[in-house]
Structure 1
């Protein structure tokens, strides 16, 4: 990231067409990346993603824009999607960080950290007791970022070991890209 470039992070406004377009394009770029599965978003997901997120009050997103000084325009470079859940043990909300995406040319320059700091602020405003996320074993740079901002492996009792993230696909009427 050149020294003349600055990054602005903000909560995404799903009703803002610039934010909506940025959200879809960044998530599609992430889906195409090996860390996102290596396949583009389905047409269904591209059309329905933003309205579906907007319809869920438990969802929020953070966007990062790089200011291209020469052109005085902002380019979307990062995205974090979050979904509020509930901790039964704490009887308080929790926030799951579902997607963290930074375009390749901007990785390693603090963009992800800035977005996660804002996501944490928004989670605290919701009264969340914790934030959760999952990371692929092969994504060492993302794991370092998550540890740097305070995430750690999940366990209740060290004698029982760390939790593993698991999934089970359910049949659906729409063909959507898995994530």
Structure 2
């Protein structure tokens, strides 16, 4: 195994664009990612759509092989009147899990978020993905709450 290289993705770089799609597709096929690969539409348009948004991606490479990806999308905290960054995807290919690649990618995500003036990072994780939960807690993530009497926030969705 080569030294793992962590980089901010350049959406215009075809090597980075292919790596984003390849690693995200592998993650989507994993049970933690839903067990179904990316659609042809997503494969064809993902990178160009990310580039149109206030988003950035971090990649991990083992030599020339892409082995990790984090997609981060900027939002806005109305309470702080500052940007926030939602960590939308954290993926490491199965052959490279357990090597702290996700932790290293998230370090760069945090550095880039701070440089953008963000007040916080947010993410969602399935409670059954225990290795990911342990990682996020180890590096400082915790459940979201404003007032303990009101309990922790719940992540919900509604498909459109």
TM-score tier, shorter chain, comes to over 0.9
Count of matched residue pairs: 160
Partner of 2:62: 66
* Distance apart, 1:108 and its partner CA: 1.1
* Distance apart, 1:54 and its partner CA: 1.0
1:8 aligns with 2:5: yes
* Distance apart, 1:146 and its partner CA: 0.6
1:149 aligns with 2:139: yes
What is the CA–CA distance in structure 2 between the aligned matches of 1:65 and 1:16, rounded to whole Å? 14
1:137 aligns with 2:135: no
Partner of 2:148: 158
Q: CA RMSD in A?
A: 0.7
Larger RCO: 1 or 2 (CA < 8 Å, sep 6+): 1
What is the CA–CA distance in structure 1 between the aligned matches of 2:107 and 2:139, rounded to whole Å? 8
Aligned pairs for 1:28-177 (under 5 A) are: 28-56=25-53, 58-67=54-63, 74-170=64-160
What is the CA–CA distance in structure 1 between the aligned matches of 2:147 and 2:155, rounded to whole Å? 17
- Segments of structure 2 that go 5 or more residues without pairing to the other structure are none
Q: TM-score, normalised by structure 2?
A: 0.98
**Any idea what the Cα deviations from partners look like across 1:146-169, whole Å, max 9, x if unmatched?**
111111111111111111100001
Highest CA radius of gyration, 1 or 2? 1
Structure 1 stretches (4+) deviating beyond 3 angstroms?
none
Structure with the larger helix share: 2
Q: TM-score, normalised by structure 1?
A: 0.88
What is the CA–CA distance in structure 2 between the aligned matches of 1:120 and 1:86, rounded to whole Å? 16
What is the CA–CA distance in structure 2 between the aligned matches of 1:42 and 1:129, rounded to whole Å? 34
**Any idea what the Cα deviations from partners look like across 1:13-72, whole Å, max 9, x if unmatched?**
00000000000000000000000000010000000001111111x1100000012xxxxx
- Segments of structure 1 that go 5 or more residues without pairing to the other structure are 68-73, 171-179
